[in-house]
Structure 1
Amino acid sequence: MQTKKKTLIENLKVNEIVDDIFVVKFKKPVEQYKNGFKFELRLADSSGEIMYKFWGPNNEPLVQGLYDSIKDGDVVYAQGRMNEWNERLEISSNNDYDIHVLKEEDYDPKEFIRKSEKSIPQMMEQLNHYIDSIQDAEIKRLINYFFKNESFVSKFRHWPAAMYIHHAWIGGLLEHTLNVLKTCDFIQKNHFKLNRDLLFAGAIFHDFGKLKEFEISTTIKVTNEGMMIGHVMLGLDMVNAAMEELNIKDELRLKIRHMILTHMGEYGSNKTPSFPEALAVYYADKMDGDLDHMQDLMKNAKTDDDYIYTKHYGNVYLK
Structure 2
Amino acid sequence: MHAKTTFVRDLTPGQKADAVFLLAEARQGQAKNGPFWALTLADRSGEVPAKIFSPQAQAHQDLAAGRFVHVRGLVGTYRDQAQVVVDELAVLDPDAEAALTLADFVRASERAPEDMLADIEALCREHLHHKPLRTLCRTVLTDPGVKARIMAAPGAVSIHHAYAGGLLEHTLAVCRACMTFCDLYPDLDRQVLLAAAVFHDLGKAWEYAPGPVREHSDEGRLLGHIFIGMQVLEPFLRKAKDLEPEIATHLRHVILAHHGELEWGSPKRPKTREAFALHFADNLDAKLKTVAEAVDEALPDGETGWSPFVRPLSRFVYRPARTPDPSQDRKDNPKAQQCSLLSKE
TM-score of the two chains, using structure 1 as the length reference: 0.88
> Does the aligned pair in 1 maintain the 2:121–2:138 contact within 8 Å?
no
Asked which structure has the greater RCO (Cα within 8 Å, sep 6+), the reply is 1
Alignment equivalent of 2:137, drawn from 137, 143, 163: 143
- In structure 2, the residue matched to 1:131 is 124
The one-letter amino acid of 2:273's match is P
1:212 positional shift: 1.2
In the TM superposition, what are the counterparts of 1:36-115 in structure 2 within 5 Å? 38-57=36-55, 63-66=57-60, 68-94=61-87, 98-107=88-97, 108=100, 109-115=102-108
- In structure 1, the residue matched to 2:251 is 256
Deviates more, 1:173-182 or 1:264-273: 264-273
C-alpha change, 1:116 and 1:305, in structure 2 (3 Å) is: closer
1:156 positional shift: 1.7
Alignment equivalent of 1:240, drawn from 234, 239, 263: 234
> Does the aligned pair in 2 maintain the 1:112–1:219 contact within 8 Å?
no
C-alpha change, 1:32 and 1:275, in structure 2 (3 Å) is: closer
Q: 2:290 aligned with 1:297, yes or no?
A: no
1:165 positional shift: 1.2
The one-letter amino acid of 2:75's match is M
> Does the aligned pair in 1 maintain the 2:26–2:40 contact within 8 Å?
yes
Deviation track 1:84-128 (CA, whole Å, cap 9, x = no partner) reads: 33322122233xxx2011123422444322101234333233212
> Does the aligned pair in 2 maintain the 1:82–1:92 contact within 8 Å?
yes
- In structure 1, the residue matched to 2:163 is 169
The one-letter amino acid of 2:313's match is Y
> Does the aligned pair in 1 maintain the 2:295–2:307 contact within 8 Å?
no
> Does the aligned pair in 1 maintain the 2:204–2:229 contact within 8 Å?
yes
TM-score of the two chains, using structure 2 as the length reference: 0.82
Deviation track 1:145-183 (CA, whole Å, cap 9, x = no partner) reads: 112334533432221111111111111111000000110
Deviates more, 1:20-29 or 1:172-181: 20-29
C-alpha change, 1:104 and 1:217, in structure 2 (3 Å) is: farther
SS in 2 for 1:77: strand
> Does the aligned pair in 2 maintain the 1:261–1:268 contact within 8 Å?
no
> Does the aligned pair in 1 maintain the 2:294–2:307 contact within 8 Å?
no
**Could you tell me the percent identity over the aligned residues?**
26
- In structure 1, the residue matched to 2:203 is 209
Deviates more, 1:269-278 or 1:173-182: 269-278
> Does the aligned pair in 1 maintain the 2:207–2:217 contact within 8 Å?
yes
1:13 positional shift: 2.6
C-alpha change, 1:100 and 1:184, in structure 2 (3 Å) is: same
> Does the aligned pair in 2 maintain the 1:263–1:273 contact within 8 Å?
yes
> Does the aligned pair in 2 maintain the 1:214–1:222 contact within 8 Å?
yes
> Does the aligned pair in 2 maintain the 1:26–1:41 contact within 8 Å?
yes
> Take 1:312 and 1:38, find their aligned partners in 2: how far apart are those partners?
29
> Take 1:93 and 1:192, find their aligned partners in 2: how far apart are those partners?
59
> Take 2:219 and 2:23, find their aligned partners in 1: how far apart are those partners?
23
Structure 1 vs Structure 2 CA RMSD: 2.4
Q: 2:278 aligned with 1:288, yes or no?
A: no
> Does the aligned pair in 2 maintain the 1:262–1:268 contact within 8 Å?
no
- In structure 2, the residue matched to 1:117 is 110
SS in 2 for 1:135: coil
> Does the aligned pair in 2 maintain the 1:3–1:106 contact within 8 Å?
no
- In structure 2, the residue matched to 1:14 is 13
Q: How many residues align?
A: 309
Deviation track 1:3-44 (CA, whole Å, cap 9, x = no partner) reads: 54221101223333222111222234343456x654331111
Deviation track 1:33-69 (CA, whole Å, cap 9, x = no partner) reads: 56x6543311111111112222333xxxx63341x23
In structure 2, the gaps of 5 or more residues are 320-345
C-alpha change, 1:215 and 1:29, in structure 2 (3 Å) is: closer
C-alpha change, 1:127 and 1:155, in structure 2 (3 Å) is: same
SS in 2 for 1:222: coil
- In structure 1, the residue matched to 2:314 is 314
The one-letter amino acid of 1:183's match is A
> Take 2:247 and 2:317, find their aligned partners in 1: how far apart are those partners?
43
1:306 positional shift: 4.0
> Take 2:134 and 2:252, find their aligned partners in 1: how far apart are those partners?
16
Deviates more, 1:46-55 or 1:133-142: 46-55
The one-letter amino acid of 1:250's match is P
The one-letter amino acid of 1:295's match is A
